[in-house]
Chains A and B, each alone.
Chain A
Amino acid sequence: MTIKHILKLCLLLLIFSCASSEISKIEGKRIVINDSLETNQAIDDFIKPYRLHLNKDMDSIISYAPETYSKSDGQLNTAIGNLMADAVYSEGNSIFNKRTQKNIDFVLLNHGGIRSIISKGNITTRTAFQVMPFENSIVVATLKGTQVNLMMEYLSKAKRAHPLSHQVQLILDKDSAISSATINGEPIDVDKTYYVATNDYLYDGGDGMTFFQPNEGLYVLDYKIRNILIDNFKKRDTINPKKDERFIKLED
Protein backbone atom coordinates (compact mmCIF):
# COMPACT_ATOMS: atom_id res chain seq x y z
CA MET A 1 0.00 0.00 0.00
CA THR A 2 1.25 3.44 -0.82
CA ILE A 3 1.23 6.32 1.62
CA LYS A 4 -1.69 7.71 -0.35
CA HIS A 5 -3.73 4.59 0.32
CA ILE A 6 -2.91 4.62 3.99
CA LEU A 7 -3.93 8.25 4.21
CA LYS A 8 -7.20 7.48 2.47
CA LEU A 9 -7.84 4.63 4.88
CA CYS A 10 -7.09 6.89 7.83
CA LEU A 11 -9.48 9.48 6.44
CA LEU A 12 -12.20 6.86 6.10
CA LEU A 13 -11.61 5.64 9.63
CA LEU A 14 -11.74 9.20 10.83
CA ILE A 15 -15.06 9.78 9.10
CA PHE A 16 -16.55 6.60 10.51
CA SER A 17 -15.23 7.13 14.00
CA CYS A 18 -16.18 10.80 14.35
CA ALA A 19 -19.44 10.18 12.56
CA SER A 20 -21.74 13.00 11.70
CA SER A 21 -24.18 14.20 14.31
CA GLU A 22 -27.65 15.37 13.59
CA ILE A 23 -29.21 18.62 14.71
CA SER A 24 -32.08 17.94 17.06
CA LYS A 25 -33.01 21.44 18.15
CA ILE A 26 -32.26 25.02 17.11
CA GLU A 27 -32.88 28.11 19.18
CA GLY A 28 -32.44 31.56 17.69
CA LYS A 29 -32.75 35.04 19.13
CA ARG A 30 -31.14 38.44 19.04
CA ILE A 31 -29.66 40.28 21.98
CA VAL A 32 -29.66 44.05 22.18
CA ILE A 33 -26.38 45.79 22.94
CA ASN A 34 -27.18 48.67 25.28
CA ASP A 35 -26.10 50.33 28.51
CA SER A 36 -27.35 47.43 30.60
CA LEU A 37 -24.15 45.64 29.52
CA GLU A 38 -20.95 46.53 31.28
CA THR A 39 -18.14 48.06 29.25
CA ASN A 40 -15.22 45.68 28.87
CA GLN A 41 -12.40 47.76 30.32
CA ALA A 42 -9.56 46.14 28.40
CA ILE A 43 -11.32 46.82 25.11
CA ASP A 44 -12.23 50.36 26.07
CA ASP A 45 -8.66 51.10 27.17
CA PHE A 46 -7.45 49.83 23.82
CA ILE A 47 -9.81 52.16 21.95
CA LYS A 48 -8.99 55.19 24.11
CA PRO A 49 -5.83 56.49 22.38
CA TYR A 50 -7.49 56.19 18.99
CA ARG A 51 -10.58 57.98 20.30
CA LEU A 52 -8.57 60.79 21.87
CA HIS A 53 -6.52 61.41 18.75
CA LEU A 54 -9.56 61.35 16.55
CA ASN A 55 -11.62 63.58 18.81
CA LYS A 56 -8.83 66.13 19.06
CA ASP A 57 -8.74 66.32 15.31
CA MET A 58 -12.48 66.15 14.80
CA ASP A 59 -13.15 68.85 17.35
CA SER A 60 -10.66 71.28 15.87
CA ILE A 61 -12.50 74.48 15.00
CA ILE A 62 -12.36 75.41 11.32
CA SER A 63 -15.11 78.06 11.00
CA TYR A 64 -18.15 79.54 12.71
CA ALA A 65 -21.88 79.31 11.96
CA PRO A 66 -23.89 82.39 13.01
CA GLU A 67 -27.15 80.44 12.64
CA THR A 68 -28.39 76.85 12.54
CA TYR A 69 -28.85 75.68 8.96
CA SER A 70 -31.10 72.77 8.01
CA LYS A 71 -32.06 71.25 4.69
CA SER A 72 -35.71 71.72 5.63
CA ASP A 73 -35.35 75.52 5.84
CA GLY A 74 -36.74 76.12 2.35
CA GLN A 75 -38.97 74.57 -0.29
CA LEU A 76 -36.78 74.72 -3.39
CA ASN A 77 -33.51 76.14 -2.13
CA THR A 78 -31.93 76.34 1.30
CA ALA A 79 -28.96 78.16 2.80
CA ILE A 80 -27.18 74.87 3.62
CA GLY A 81 -27.80 73.44 0.13
CA ASN A 82 -26.62 76.65 -1.54
CA LEU A 83 -23.51 76.57 0.64
CA MET A 84 -22.70 73.02 -0.40
CA ALA A 85 -23.31 73.53 -4.11
CA ASP A 86 -21.33 76.78 -4.14
CA ALA A 87 -18.49 75.15 -2.19
CA VAL A 88 -18.38 72.31 -4.71
CA TYR A 89 -18.30 74.90 -7.47
CA SER A 90 -15.47 76.98 -6.09
CA GLU A 91 -13.25 74.17 -4.75
CA GLY A 92 -14.06 71.82 -7.62
CA ASN A 93 -13.59 74.39 -10.35
CA SER A 94 -10.13 75.35 -9.22
CA ILE A 95 -9.04 71.73 -9.72
CA PHE A 96 -11.04 71.27 -12.92
CA ASN A 97 -9.69 74.48 -14.41
CA LYS A 98 -6.09 73.60 -13.59
CA ARG A 99 -6.46 70.21 -15.26
CA THR A 100 -8.52 71.16 -18.29
CA GLN A 101 -8.32 74.96 -18.68
CA LYS A 102 -12.10 74.83 -18.81
CA ASN A 103 -14.65 75.98 -16.26
CA ILE A 104 -17.52 74.17 -14.61
CA ASP A 105 -20.81 75.72 -15.69
CA PHE A 106 -22.77 74.76 -12.61
CA VAL A 107 -23.27 72.17 -9.86
CA LEU A 108 -26.20 69.90 -9.00
CA LEU A 109 -26.26 67.85 -5.80
CA ASN A 110 -29.11 66.06 -4.07
CA HIS A 111 -31.21 67.15 -1.13
CA GLY A 112 -30.89 63.68 0.45
CA GLY A 113 -27.10 64.04 0.36
CA ILE A 114 -27.21 66.63 3.14
CA ARG A 115 -27.00 64.25 6.09
CA SER A 116 -27.08 66.66 9.02
CA ILE A 117 -27.78 70.22 10.07
CA ILE A 118 -24.99 72.74 10.67
CA SER A 119 -25.58 73.96 14.21
CA LYS A 120 -25.06 77.54 15.33
CA GLY A 121 -21.63 77.90 16.86
CA ASN A 122 -18.22 76.55 16.05
CA ILE A 123 -17.83 74.48 12.92
CA THR A 124 -15.42 71.61 13.40
CA THR A 125 -14.06 68.88 11.19
CA ARG A 126 -16.74 66.71 12.79
CA THR A 127 -19.40 69.01 11.32
CA ALA A 128 -18.19 68.14 7.83
CA PHE A 129 -18.26 64.43 8.69
CA GLN A 130 -21.82 64.78 9.96
CA VAL A 131 -23.06 66.72 6.93
CA MET A 132 -21.26 64.33 4.57
CA PRO A 133 -20.42 60.98 6.19
CA PHE A 134 -20.18 59.20 2.84
CA GLU A 135 -17.14 58.98 0.62
CA ASN A 136 -18.80 60.42 -2.45
CA SER A 137 -16.59 62.41 -4.77
CA ILE A 138 -17.12 65.04 -7.40
CA VAL A 139 -17.30 64.23 -11.09
CA VAL A 140 -17.79 66.65 -13.98
CA ALA A 141 -20.01 65.46 -16.83
CA THR A 142 -20.07 67.08 -20.26
CA LEU A 143 -23.76 67.44 -21.07
CA LYS A 144 -25.66 68.72 -24.08
CA GLY A 145 -28.15 71.53 -23.62
CA THR A 146 -30.91 69.00 -24.23
CA GLN A 147 -29.75 67.00 -21.21
CA VAL A 148 -29.62 70.16 -19.10
CA ASN A 149 -33.22 70.78 -20.15
CA LEU A 150 -34.11 67.26 -18.98
CA MET A 151 -32.43 68.08 -15.68
CA MET A 152 -34.56 71.22 -15.31
CA GLU A 153 -37.68 69.16 -16.08
CA TYR A 154 -36.62 66.69 -13.41
CA LEU A 155 -36.13 69.49 -10.86
CA SER A 156 -39.52 71.01 -11.68
CA LYS A 157 -41.20 67.66 -11.05
CA ALA A 158 -39.11 66.62 -8.02
CA LYS A 159 -40.05 69.87 -6.20
CA ARG A 160 -37.25 69.29 -3.72
CA ALA A 161 -34.47 71.63 -2.71
CA HIS A 162 -31.79 69.75 -4.61
CA PRO A 163 -28.76 72.01 -4.20
CA LEU A 164 -27.80 74.07 -7.26
CA SER A 165 -24.85 76.43 -7.51
CA HIS A 166 -25.49 80.13 -7.94
CA GLN A 167 -24.99 80.11 -11.73
CA VAL A 168 -28.41 78.50 -12.15
CA GLN A 169 -31.69 80.27 -11.98
CA LEU A 170 -34.77 78.13 -12.30
CA ILE A 171 -38.21 79.70 -11.90
CA LEU A 172 -41.36 77.60 -11.80
CA ASP A 173 -44.83 79.03 -12.36
CA LYS A 174 -47.64 78.44 -9.90
CA ASP A 175 -48.39 75.08 -11.56
CA SER A 176 -44.74 74.06 -11.15
CA ALA A 177 -44.09 74.26 -14.90
CA ILE A 178 -40.77 75.85 -15.91
CA SER A 179 -41.23 79.58 -16.35
CA SER A 180 -37.56 80.29 -17.03
CA ALA A 181 -34.26 78.44 -16.73
CA THR A 182 -30.92 80.17 -17.16
CA ILE A 183 -27.24 79.36 -16.61
CA ASN A 184 -25.05 82.39 -15.94
CA GLY A 185 -27.97 84.56 -17.02
CA GLU A 186 -28.28 82.91 -20.43
CA PRO A 187 -31.14 80.66 -21.54
CA ILE A 188 -30.13 77.01 -21.94
CA ASP A 189 -28.75 76.51 -25.45
CA VAL A 190 -29.54 73.05 -26.82
CA ASP A 191 -26.48 73.21 -29.10
CA LYS A 192 -24.06 74.13 -26.34
CA THR A 193 -22.18 71.68 -24.13
CA TYR A 194 -22.15 72.27 -20.39
CA TYR A 195 -19.68 71.11 -17.78
CA VAL A 196 -21.84 70.01 -14.87
CA ALA A 197 -20.33 68.97 -11.55
CA THR A 198 -22.20 66.47 -9.42
CA ASN A 199 -21.42 63.61 -7.08
CA ASP A 200 -20.63 60.11 -8.33
CA TYR A 201 -23.84 58.76 -6.77
CA LEU A 202 -26.07 61.01 -8.88
CA TYR A 203 -23.88 60.55 -11.93
CA ASP A 204 -24.64 56.84 -11.69
CA GLY A 205 -28.37 57.53 -11.73
CA GLY A 206 -29.02 57.90 -8.00
CA ASP A 207 -32.30 59.63 -6.99
CA GLY A 208 -33.66 58.88 -10.46
CA MET A 209 -31.29 61.38 -12.09
CA THR A 210 -30.96 59.58 -15.41
CA PHE A 211 -29.92 62.65 -17.41
CA PHE A 212 -26.17 62.42 -16.70
CA GLN A 213 -25.69 59.42 -18.97
CA PRO A 214 -24.90 58.95 -21.77
CA ASN A 215 -22.79 62.08 -22.13
CA GLU A 216 -20.00 63.66 -24.11
CA GLY A 217 -17.30 63.08 -21.51
CA LEU A 218 -16.54 62.54 -17.85
CA TYR A 219 -13.87 64.09 -15.61
CA VAL A 220 -13.22 62.31 -12.31
CA LEU A 221 -11.75 64.82 -9.86
CA ASP A 222 -10.99 62.36 -7.01
CA TYR A 223 -12.12 65.06 -4.60
CA LYS A 224 -14.44 63.97 -1.81
CA ILE A 225 -17.37 66.24 -1.01
CA ARG A 226 -16.45 66.08 2.66
CA ASN A 227 -12.96 67.34 1.90
CA ILE A 228 -14.43 70.09 -0.25
CA LEU A 229 -16.50 71.20 2.75
CA ILE A 230 -13.50 71.08 5.10
CA ASP A 231 -11.33 73.04 2.63
CA ASN A 232 -14.13 75.54 2.08
CA PHE A 233 -14.86 76.07 5.80
CA LYS A 234 -11.17 76.63 6.50
CA LYS A 235 -11.10 79.58 4.12
CA ARG A 236 -13.61 81.59 6.12
CA ASP A 237 -13.83 82.66 9.77
CA THR A 238 -17.61 82.71 9.53
CA ILE A 239 -19.92 81.16 7.02
CA ASN A 240 -22.83 83.20 5.76
CA PRO A 241 -25.01 81.11 3.45
CA LYS A 242 -28.36 82.46 2.35
CA LYS A 243 -31.52 81.11 0.88
CA ASP A 244 -31.97 83.08 -2.36
CA GLU A 245 -33.79 83.17 -5.68
CA ARG A 246 -31.82 80.54 -7.61
CA PHE A 247 -34.65 78.00 -7.55
CA ILE A 248 -38.09 79.34 -6.77
CA LYS A 249 -41.76 78.90 -7.54
CA LEU A 250 -44.00 81.85 -8.36
CA GLU A 251 -47.09 82.02 -6.22
CA ASP A 252 -49.58 83.69 -8.59
Chain B
Amino acid sequence: MKRRDFIQKSSAATVLASVGGLSLQSFSPSKTKKITILHTNDVHSHIDPFGPEDGRNANKGGVARRATLVESIRKENPNTLLLDAGDIFQGTPYFNYYGGELEFKLMSMLKYDVATIGNHDFDNGIDGLYAQIPHADFEFVSANYDFSNTVMDTHVKPYKIIIKDGIKIGIFGLGIKLEGLVGKDMYKETVYHDPIGKAQDMSRVLKEEESCDLVICLSHLGYEYKNNSDKVSDITLARATKDIDLIIGGHTHTFLPKPTIETNSIGKNVLVNQVGCFGLYLGKVDFYFEPGKKVSADGASIIV
Protein backbone atom coordinates (compact mmCIF):
# COMPACT_ATOMS: atom_id res chain seq x y z
CA MET B 1 0.00 0.00 0.00
CA LYS B 2 2.89 2.27 0.66
CA ARG B 3 3.90 2.11 -2.94
CA ARG B 4 0.48 3.12 -4.19
CA ASP B 5 0.49 6.03 -1.76
CA PHE B 6 3.76 7.13 -3.18
CA ILE B 7 2.46 7.00 -6.74
CA GLN B 8 -0.61 8.92 -5.79
CA LYS B 9 1.37 11.54 -3.96
CA SER B 10 3.77 11.95 -6.77
CA SER B 11 0.98 12.28 -9.28
CA ALA B 12 -0.56 14.91 -7.04
CA ALA B 13 2.76 16.70 -7.14
CA THR B 14 2.74 16.49 -10.90
CA VAL B 15 -0.68 18.05 -10.86
CA LEU B 16 0.62 20.98 -8.88
CA ALA B 17 3.62 21.34 -11.10
CA SER B 18 1.61 21.35 -14.27
CA VAL B 19 -1.18 23.71 -13.32
CA GLY B 20 -1.72 25.99 -16.22
CA GLY B 21 -2.27 23.26 -18.70
CA LEU B 22 -5.54 21.42 -18.44
CA SER B 23 -3.68 18.32 -17.49
CA LEU B 24 -4.91 17.94 -13.96
CA GLN B 25 -4.57 14.25 -13.94
CA SER B 26 -6.52 11.35 -12.63
CA PHE B 27 -6.16 10.40 -9.02
CA SER B 28 -6.82 6.74 -9.68
CA PRO B 29 -3.79 4.49 -9.86
CA SER B 30 -2.28 4.92 -13.28
CA LYS B 31 -2.89 2.06 -15.59
CA THR B 32 -2.33 2.05 -19.32
CA LYS B 33 -5.57 2.25 -21.25
CA LYS B 34 -5.94 1.08 -24.81
CA ILE B 35 -8.51 2.36 -27.28
CA THR B 36 -8.77 0.54 -30.60
CA ILE B 37 -10.14 2.37 -33.61
CA LEU B 38 -11.30 0.16 -36.47
CA HIS B 39 -12.31 1.74 -39.74
CA THR B 40 -13.54 1.23 -43.27
CA ASN B 41 -14.25 3.61 -46.15
CA ASP B 42 -15.79 3.47 -49.62
CA VAL B 43 -17.26 0.02 -49.07
CA HIS B 44 -19.65 0.85 -51.95
CA SER B 45 -22.27 -1.81 -51.24
CA HIS B 46 -19.72 -4.63 -51.41
CA ILE B 47 -21.55 -7.08 -49.20
CA ASP B 48 -20.46 -10.38 -50.70
CA PRO B 49 -16.76 -11.24 -51.08
CA PHE B 50 -15.19 -11.06 -54.52
CA GLY B 51 -15.31 -14.41 -56.28
CA PRO B 52 -12.27 -16.59 -57.03
CA GLU B 53 -12.37 -15.49 -60.68
CA ASP B 54 -12.05 -11.78 -59.98
CA GLY B 55 -9.08 -10.29 -61.78
CA ARG B 56 -8.05 -7.86 -59.06
CA ASN B 57 -9.59 -8.75 -55.72
CA ALA B 58 -10.14 -12.50 -55.89
CA ASN B 59 -11.48 -13.95 -52.61
CA LYS B 60 -11.13 -10.64 -50.80
CA GLY B 61 -13.68 -8.61 -48.86
CA GLY B 62 -17.11 -9.65 -47.57
CA VAL B 63 -19.14 -8.26 -44.68
CA ALA B 64 -19.60 -11.64 -42.96
CA ARG B 65 -15.82 -12.05 -42.74
CA ARG B 66 -15.36 -8.49 -41.57
CA ALA B 67 -17.85 -9.30 -38.81
CA THR B 68 -15.68 -12.20 -37.63
CA LEU B 69 -12.59 -10.00 -37.55
CA VAL B 70 -14.30 -7.13 -35.73
CA GLU B 71 -15.77 -9.54 -33.20
CA SER B 72 -12.39 -11.08 -32.42
CA ILE B 73 -10.78 -7.65 -32.01
CA ARG B 74 -13.62 -6.54 -29.72
CA LYS B 75 -13.19 -9.67 -27.65
CA GLU B 76 -9.52 -8.83 -27.21
CA ASN B 77 -10.26 -5.18 -26.42
CA PRO B 78 -13.82 -4.18 -25.56
CA ASN B 79 -12.75 -0.53 -25.79
CA THR B 80 -13.02 -0.60 -29.54
CA LEU B 81 -14.80 1.77 -31.91
CA LEU B 82 -15.84 0.93 -35.45
CA LEU B 83 -16.07 3.86 -37.87
CA ASP B 84 -16.78 4.45 -41.55
CA ALA B 85 -15.65 7.38 -43.69
CA GLY B 86 -18.47 7.40 -46.24
CA ASP B 87 -19.52 6.08 -49.66
CA ILE B 88 -21.35 3.24 -48.03
CA PHE B 89 -23.71 3.17 -51.02
CA GLN B 90 -23.39 2.34 -54.71
CA GLY B 91 -21.30 -0.24 -56.46
CA THR B 92 -23.21 -3.52 -56.48
CA PRO B 93 -26.80 -4.44 -57.36
CA TYR B 94 -27.54 -4.67 -53.62
CA PHE B 95 -27.73 -0.90 -53.67
CA ASN B 96 -29.76 -0.73 -56.87
CA TYR B 97 -32.24 -3.25 -55.51
CA TYR B 98 -32.53 -2.31 -51.87
CA GLY B 99 -31.42 1.32 -51.83
CA GLY B 100 -28.87 0.92 -49.02
CA GLU B 101 -31.18 -0.84 -46.56
CA LEU B 102 -28.98 -3.93 -46.34
CA GLU B 103 -25.78 -1.88 -46.03
CA PHE B 104 -27.16 0.02 -43.01
CA LYS B 105 -28.68 -3.08 -41.42
CA LEU B 106 -25.40 -4.98 -41.67
CA MET B 107 -23.38 -2.06 -40.34
CA SER B 108 -25.77 -1.96 -37.39
CA MET B 109 -25.28 -5.69 -36.83
CA LEU B 110 -21.52 -5.17 -36.87
CA LYS B 111 -22.11 -2.41 -34.28
CA TYR B 112 -20.62 0.45 -36.20
CA ASP B 113 -20.48 3.48 -33.92
CA VAL B 114 -20.20 6.45 -36.26
CA ALA B 115 -20.04 7.16 -40.00
CA THR B 116 -19.74 10.21 -42.19
CA ILE B 117 -21.45 10.89 -45.50
CA GLY B 118 -19.78 10.44 -48.87
CA ASN B 119 -20.85 11.85 -52.21
CA HIS B 120 -22.24 8.49 -53.37
CA ASP B 121 -24.47 8.34 -50.32
CA PHE B 122 -26.56 10.92 -52.21
CA ASP B 123 -26.93 8.61 -55.23
CA ASN B 124 -30.60 8.00 -54.55
CA GLY B 125 -30.98 11.63 -53.64
CA ILE B 126 -31.08 13.05 -50.15
CA ASP B 127 -34.56 11.52 -49.84
CA GLY B 128 -33.09 8.10 -50.65
CA LEU B 129 -30.54 8.53 -47.87
CA TYR B 130 -33.19 9.75 -45.43
CA ALA B 131 -35.38 6.74 -46.25
CA GLN B 132 -32.66 4.38 -45.03
CA ILE B 133 -31.87 6.23 -41.77
CA PRO B 134 -34.30 4.06 -39.72
CA HIS B 135 -32.11 1.04 -40.59
CA ALA B 136 -28.97 2.62 -39.09
CA ASP B 137 -28.32 2.02 -35.38
CA PHE B 138 -25.16 4.09 -35.66
CA GLU B 139 -24.79 7.84 -35.94
CA PHE B 140 -23.80 10.15 -38.76
CA VAL B 141 -21.46 13.08 -38.28
CA SER B 142 -20.69 15.94 -40.63
CA ALA B 143 -19.44 19.32 -39.50
CA ASN B 144 -19.36 21.01 -42.89
CA TYR B 145 -22.62 19.86 -44.48
CA ASP B 146 -25.51 21.96 -43.26
CA PHE B 147 -28.66 19.90 -43.62
CA SER B 148 -30.99 22.37 -41.84
CA ASN B 149 -33.16 22.95 -44.89
CA THR B 150 -33.34 19.29 -45.89
CA VAL B 151 -35.07 16.12 -44.71
CA MET B 152 -31.78 15.09 -43.08
CA ASP B 153 -32.03 17.92 -40.56
CA THR B 154 -31.34 16.57 -37.02
CA HIS B 155 -30.22 13.20 -38.39
CA VAL B 156 -26.61 14.28 -38.80
CA LYS B 157 -24.62 15.88 -35.97
CA PRO B 158 -21.38 17.83 -36.38
CA TYR B 159 -19.67 15.52 -33.90
CA LYS B 160 -20.20 12.69 -31.49
CA ILE B 161 -18.50 12.06 -28.17
CA ILE B 162 -18.01 8.51 -26.93
CA ILE B 163 -16.43 7.59 -23.60
CA LYS B 164 -14.62 4.26 -23.41
CA ASP B 165 -12.82 3.17 -20.25
CA GLY B 166 -12.93 6.78 -19.05
CA ILE B 167 -11.24 8.02 -22.23
CA LYS B 168 -13.23 10.74 -23.93
CA ILE B 169 -13.22 10.37 -27.72
CA GLY B 170 -14.53 13.14 -29.98
CA ILE B 171 -15.38 12.25 -33.57
CA PHE B 172 -16.35 14.82 -36.17
CA GLY B 173 -17.11 14.42 -39.87
CA LEU B 174 -16.15 16.28 -43.05
CA GLY B 175 -17.62 15.89 -46.52
CA ILE B 176 -16.42 16.78 -50.00
CA LYS B 177 -17.74 19.68 -52.07
CA LEU B 178 -20.91 18.39 -53.70
CA GLU B 179 -21.29 20.90 -56.50
CA GLY B 180 -20.00 19.41 -59.74
CA LEU B 181 -19.75 15.95 -58.17
CA VAL B 182 -23.37 15.28 -57.24
CA GLY B 183 -26.40 16.62 -59.07
CA LYS B 184 -28.07 19.54 -57.31
CA ASP B 185 -31.40 17.71 -57.56
CA MET B 186 -29.80 14.95 -55.48
CA TYR B 187 -28.28 16.96 -52.62
CA LYS B 188 -30.96 19.67 -52.79
CA GLU B 189 -30.53 22.34 -50.09
CA THR B 190 -27.51 20.75 -48.41
CA VAL B 191 -25.00 23.56 -47.83
CA TYR B 192 -21.30 22.84 -48.04
CA HIS B 193 -18.90 24.79 -45.82
CA ASP B 194 -15.11 25.06 -45.99
CA PRO B 195 -13.75 21.88 -44.34
CA ILE B 196 -10.57 23.49 -42.97
CA GLY B 197 -12.45 26.25 -41.14
CA LYS B 198 -14.96 23.75 -39.77
CA ALA B 199 -12.18 21.38 -38.70
CA GLN B 200 -10.47 24.21 -36.81
CA ASP B 201 -13.75 24.98 -35.02
CA MET B 202 -14.38 21.32 -34.27
CA SER B 203 -10.94 20.56 -32.89
CA ARG B 204 -11.23 23.62 -30.61
CA VAL B 205 -14.66 22.55 -29.39
CA LEU B 206 -13.62 18.94 -28.86
CA LYS B 207 -10.21 19.58 -27.33
CA GLU B 208 -10.79 22.78 -25.36
CA GLU B 209 -14.50 22.90 -24.54
CA GLU B 210 -15.25 19.19 -24.33
CA SER B 211 -11.76 18.20 -23.10
CA CYS B 212 -11.59 15.13 -25.28
CA ASP B 213 -8.58 12.88 -24.84
CA LEU B 214 -8.71 11.73 -28.45
CA VAL B 215 -9.96 13.68 -31.48
CA ILE B 216 -10.79 11.82 -34.67
CA CYS B 217 -11.86 13.30 -37.99
CA LEU B 218 -13.92 11.11 -40.31
CA SER B 219 -13.28 12.64 -43.70
CA HIS B 220 -14.59 12.01 -47.17
CA LEU B 221 -12.38 14.71 -48.69
CA GLY B 222 -9.85 12.41 -50.37
CA TYR B 223 -6.28 11.59 -49.36
CA GLU B 224 -4.21 13.96 -51.50
CA TYR B 225 -4.51 15.85 -54.80
CA LYS B 226 -0.94 16.18 -56.02
CA ASN B 227 -1.86 17.98 -59.24
CA ASN B 228 -4.33 20.30 -57.57
CA SER B 229 -2.81 21.61 -54.38
CA ASP B 230 -5.70 24.06 -53.87
CA LYS B 231 -8.13 21.21 -53.42
CA VAL B 232 -8.70 20.35 -49.77
CA SER B 233 -7.51 16.85 -48.92
CA ASP B 234 -6.72 14.90 -45.77
CA ILE B 235 -3.07 15.85 -46.16
CA THR B 236 -3.76 19.60 -46.45
CA LEU B 237 -6.28 19.28 -43.61
CA ALA B 238 -3.71 17.58 -41.37
CA ARG B 239 -1.16 20.34 -42.01
CA ALA B 240 -3.61 23.22 -41.53
CA THR B 241 -5.16 22.16 -38.23
CA LYS B 242 -4.19 21.24 -34.68
CA ASP B 243 -5.46 18.94 -31.95
CA ILE B 244 -6.63 16.22 -34.34
CA ASP B 245 -5.04 12.87 -33.51
CA LEU B 246 -6.32 10.78 -36.39
CA ILE B 247 -7.88 11.55 -39.77
CA ILE B 248 -9.71 8.58 -41.25
CA GLY B 249 -10.20 9.29 -44.93
CA GLY B 250 -12.03 8.09 -47.98
CA HIS B 251 -13.18 9.09 -51.47
CA THR B 252 -9.90 8.60 -53.37
CA HIS B 253 -9.85 4.81 -52.77
CA THR B 254 -6.27 5.15 -51.57
CA PHE B 255 -4.75 1.89 -50.37
CA LEU B 256 -2.33 3.01 -47.66
CA PRO B 257 -0.28 0.04 -46.46
CA LYS B 258 0.10 1.91 -43.15
CA PRO B 259 -1.06 5.26 -41.72
CA THR B 260 0.76 8.37 -42.90
CA ILE B 261 2.33 10.55 -40.21
CA GLU B 262 1.85 14.24 -40.99
CA THR B 263 2.86 17.33 -39.03
CA ASN B 264 0.09 19.68 -37.99
CA SER B 265 0.07 23.49 -37.74
CA ILE B 266 1.81 23.46 -34.36
CA GLY B 267 4.41 20.85 -35.24
CA LYS B 268 2.70 17.86 -33.68
CA ASN B 269 2.08 14.50 -35.28
CA VAL B 270 -1.24 13.58 -36.80
CA LEU B 271 -2.07 10.25 -38.36
CA VAL B 272 -3.88 10.01 -41.70
CA ASN B 273 -5.24 6.66 -42.75
CA GLN B 274 -7.40 5.19 -45.53
CA VAL B 275 -7.97 1.57 -46.46
CA GLY B 276 -8.74 1.68 -50.18
CA CYS B 277 -12.28 0.54 -50.90
CA PHE B 278 -14.86 -2.27 -51.17
CA GLY B 279 -14.23 -3.65 -47.68
CA LEU B 280 -11.02 -5.34 -48.78
CA TYR B 281 -9.22 -4.17 -45.65
CA LEU B 282 -9.97 -3.06 -42.13
CA GLY B 283 -7.89 -0.23 -40.68
CA LYS B 284 -6.79 -0.60 -37.06
CA VAL B 285 -5.21 2.11 -34.95
CA ASP B 286 -4.50 1.49 -31.25
CA PHE B 287 -4.08 4.43 -28.92
CA TYR B 288 -2.41 3.83 -25.55
CA PHE B 289 -3.07 6.28 -22.75
CA GLU B 290 -1.10 6.78 -19.57
CA PRO B 291 -3.43 8.47 -17.14
CA GLY B 292 -1.73 10.92 -14.85
CA LYS B 293 1.42 11.01 -16.89
CA LYS B 294 2.79 13.78 -19.02
CA VAL B 295 4.05 12.50 -22.31
CA SER B 296 7.28 13.98 -23.63
CA ALA B 297 7.06 17.13 -25.72
CA ASP B 298 7.59 15.13 -28.87
CA GLY B 299 4.28 13.43 -28.22
CA ALA B 300 3.47 9.76 -28.39
CA SER B 301 5.67 7.16 -29.93
CA ILE B 302 4.11 5.98 -33.16
CA ILE B 303 4.55 2.48 -34.48
CA VAL B 304 3.21 1.97 -37.98
Contact = CB atoms under 8 A, between A and B. Distances in A.
Interface in A30-48: 30-35, 37-44, 46-47
B281 A33 contact: yes
A30 B275 contact: yes
Contacts of B302: 25-28
Given A28-B286, A44-B64, A18 B166 contact: yes
Interface in A78-104: none
A39 B65 CA distance: 5
A24 B26 contact: no
Contact of B68 (A15, A20, A40, A129): A40
A29 B284 contact: yes
A57 B94 CA distance: 11
Nearest to B46: A33
Contact of A27 (B22, B92, B286): B286
Contacts of B166: 18, 21
A34 B59 contact: yes
B106 A37 contact: no
Point out which of B63, B65, B292 has the most chain A C-beta atoms below 10 A from its C-beta: B65
Interface string B31-46: 0110000000000000
Interface size class of A (residues with CB under 8 A): 35 or more
Contacts, number: 184
A161 to B, nearest CB: 21
Contacts of B62: 33, 39
Contacts of B285: 26-28
A17 interface: yes
Nearest to B286: A27
B301 interface: yes
Contact of B97 (A22, A40, A54): A54
A24 B65 contact: no
Nearest to B290: A24
Contacts of B301: 24-26
A35 B303 contact: no
A17 B168 CA distance: 13
Contacts of A20: 22-23, 25, 168, 211-213
A51 B92 CA distance: 11
Contacts of A39: 62, 64-65, 68
Interface in B170-189: 180, 183
Nearest to A25: B288
A204 B213 CA distance: 45
B293 A50 contact: no
Contacts of B93: 54, 58, 126, 129
B300 A57 contact: no
Interface of A: 15-35, 37-44, 46-47, 50-51, 53-54, 57-58, 126, 129, 133, 135, 200, 204
Given A24-B295, A28-B286, A53-B97, 19 more contacts: A19-B23, A19-B291, A21-B25, A23-B295, A23-B299, A28-B258, A28-B283, A30-B256, A33-B61, A33-B69, A33-B280, A37-B69, A40-B64, A46-B109, A47-B64, A50-B98, A129-B93, A129-B96, A135-B123
Closest 3 CB pairs of A and B: A40-B67, A28-B259, A21-B289
